[in-house]
Every structure is written in structure tokens, then in C-alpha cells.
Structure 1
């Protein structure tokens, strides 16, 4: 859990939410950064809490299914039941890009492969 990228995700999440709370949202980052970080955070927590395997490497297909499922639930299903949320296709793209980032950058960074 002391993974440097995971710590950065948390710092960025708090930064974005503090900016929202003080009514000073940062354009673009406010809209999509938290969605981009969602899959990397969930995958990282799953690996460490549920699987309890730091050496586990998620297959790309698993991460893409996570992104698709998240996009369907949060951008299509949930907005149809709540008037407080709106589905945004760009959020779905952010989930997808977060999955790709986790697969190609975070997992390799964590295993020391990114610098080889």
C-alpha cells in the first residue's frame, strides 16, 4: 500500500475534491481525472486487500472489463435512476484510459520493469 503511484492517486483525488468543496474546480481535471484514477485505485486495492498478492499482474482483459462495467453502471444505469447525476461518455473513455495506464505503466512501475 506504500506504492508511490497509489499515494499520488490519493493526493490527486483529495486535491480535486478539496477544490470542488471550496468551489474552485479545475477545468478538465475536475471532470475526468478522478474517473481516470478510478480503475487504477480499484485494481490496486483489489490486488492488496482481496487477493493479498503484491506480485499479481492483472490481465488487460480484466482491466478492460472493469472499465466497461464501471462505465455502464456509473454512466448509463445510475443516471437513469438518479436526477442528481448525468452520464458522460467521456467519463467512460477516462475509465478505459485509466485501465490502460494501470496495465502498461503502474504494473510495470511496481514490478520495476518500467525503467528497463
Structure 2
């Protein structure tokens, strides 16, 4: 469970929280409000899923998701939030840039979390 306290993961959560708090207070942060939460969505979901995968499924703390899995998460998130949900609720809107952000977030996560532990610094 200590993997959930990775500095990057904590940063994802703090940024997401700040952006949503600013939205709630009707003071959106112009450059960050639009797509940063979409960029952070896949890395945050992947990090939580990977932590539980390592603990309960593969039982190997060095295991990482292959790029294909992360890209699949981006496809799935895109389909749900950019195609399905806008058809079911007027609260959601379609935005191709959100899809780009999901895929960019996947690649970001792969670059900073997806490499084997020997190729990057591990946090205790």
C-alpha cells in the first residue's frame, strides 16, 4: 500500500483536488481547468490499479503494466466519457482534446511509472 504514497501519485491527486475546488468556488484556473484533470485521469487510475494488481494478483512489486494496457485504459476512458456519457446525460460533452489528454496521460504514466524498477528510481 505504500506505493499509493508515491510523490507523483500524490501530485496527481492534489492537482485534481485543487482544480475541482477552484471549479466549485467558481474560480477556475484558466490554463489548468480545461484538460489537466483529463490528463491526470489515466495515470491516477493506472496507479491505483497497479498497486492492487501488485498486491493481490501478481504479488510482484516490480511488475509494471505494458504500454498496451495503458493505451487500452485511455481507449476505455475515451469511449465511456467522450462517447457514451454525452449520449446519456447533457452534463457531459464530447471533446476530442479530452481524448488526446487521456492518451497523453497514458504515455506520461508509462514513461515515469511503466519502466522496470532497475531503469528508474524507486521510492521506499
Q: TM-score, normalised by structure 1?
A: 0.89
Distance 1:69 1:107 in 2: 19
- Match of 2:50? 47
- Match of 1:92? 99
Distance 1:10 1:67 in 2: 18
- Match of 1:34? 37
Distance 1:39 1:54 in 2: 20
Task: Give structure 2 stretches of 5+ with no counterpart.
Answer: none
For the structure 1 residues 40 and 24, does the alpha-carbon distance in structure 2 shift closer, same or farther, using more than 3 Å as the test? same
8 Å CA contact retained: 2:82, 2:93: yes
- Match of 1:101? 108
Aligned residues: 114
Give the 4+ runs in structure 1 shifted more than 2 A.
110-115
Task: Give structure 1 stretches of 5+ with no counterpart.
Answer: none
- Post-superposition offset of 1:112: 6.2
For the structure 1 residues 25 and 35, does the alpha-carbon distance in structure 2 shift closer, same or farther, using more than 3 Å as the test? same
- Match of 1:22? 25
8 Å CA contact retained: 1:47, 1:54: no
- Post-superposition offset of 1:47: 1.1
Determine if the alignment matches structure 1 residue 111 to structure 2 residue 117: yes
For the structure 1 residues 35 and 112, does the alpha-carbon distance in structure 2 shift closer, same or farther, using more than 3 Å as the test? farther
- Post-superposition offset of 1:15: 0.7
- Match of 1:7? 10
